[in-house]
Amino acid sequence: MDIRVAIFEDNKLVRDALEAILNGTPGYSCCGAYADAQSLSSRIKSSAPDVVLMDIEMPGISGIDATRIIAREFQDVKVLIQTVFNDSEKIFRALSAGASGYVLKNDSPAKQIEAIHEVFNGGAPMSPSIAKKVLQFFSHKNVILVIPELTDYQLSEREKEILLLMVEGHNYKTIAEKTFISYETVRTHVKRIYKKLHVASRSEAVMKAQQQGLI
């Protein structure tokens, strides 16, 4: 059975070329080619793709916003972002929106097909330059890569309360005032929170709490 691919690309030449490549490659077929992401949900329903090739910059609804909609409404559809932009901020936003992979438009047709195959089979393809940018972005922003998981860290109600105040930006002194406990008791609770969450700093604890919905 062919891997069904829908294309969202505002450049007609690029769109037509991608469609020709897909339809000319055994095991692949283009089930829809669109110049924008208007009527996105109905187009996805009618074309029923396995993978969407999504241009990151389109008039109207952006590729990032379209990716977010697809991730929310069509969880079985994989989105592979394509762009000429080697921009770490856009990369992070696309991945955060639910993109499964990210490649550059100047990658060869063989790499494009390989990326589609990889993402269809549950992988997360990235061009080497893109992967480097992502790592640089995460490092610069002090972002911790945490896979969401249903883990019970056995935080007490008091520890959850203190963790929430940490997320809100309070320091030990204001946490002590709000919870009516001493400064040293706050320090003790925070040490226990770090140990239970397997983190070593406030920023790591806050990031993990936000990523895994602990508060």
Give me the residue spans of the domains in the chain. 3-141, 157-211
> Looking at residue 204, what is its pLDDT?
73
User: What is the topology classification, in CATH, of domain 157-211?
Assistant: Arc Repressor Mutant, subunit A (1.10.10)
Residue entry with tokens 């195959």:
117
Q: How far is CA 35 from CA 53, 87, 198, in A?
A: 12, 22, 47
**H or E stretch covering 102:** strand 101-104
User: What is the topology classification, in CATH, of domain 3-141?
Assistant: Rossmann fold (3.40.50)
Q: How is residue 70 written in tokens?
A: 């697809």
What pLDDT tens digit does each residue of the chain (215 aa) get? Answer: 899 999 999 999 999 999 999 999 999 999 999 999 999 999 999 999 999 999 988 889 999 999 999 988 998 899 998 877 666 677 777 777 888 888 888 888 888 898 898 888 877 676 666 666 665 665 555 554 544 555 678 999 999 999 998 888 787 888 999 999 998 899 899 889 988 988 776 767 877 887 777 77
The verdict on pTM exceeding 0.95 is no
Q: How many CB atoms lie within 10 A of CB 82?
A: 22
Closest CA to 155 of 199, 206, 210, 194: 194
End-to-end, the C-alpha distance of the chain in Å comes to: 44
Q: Which residues contact 174 (CB under 8 A, 6 or more apart)?
A: 165
DSSP 130-198: HHHHHHHHHHHHT--------------HHHHHHHHHHHTT--HHHHHHHHT--HHHHHHHHHHHHHHHT
Contact between residue 115 and residue 107 where contact means Cβ atoms under 8 Å apart: yes
Contact between residue 33 and residue 53 where contact means Cβ atoms under 8 Å apart: no
> Looking at residue 139, what is its pLDDT?
54
Contact between residue 37 and residue 6 where contact means Cβ atoms under 8 Å apart: no
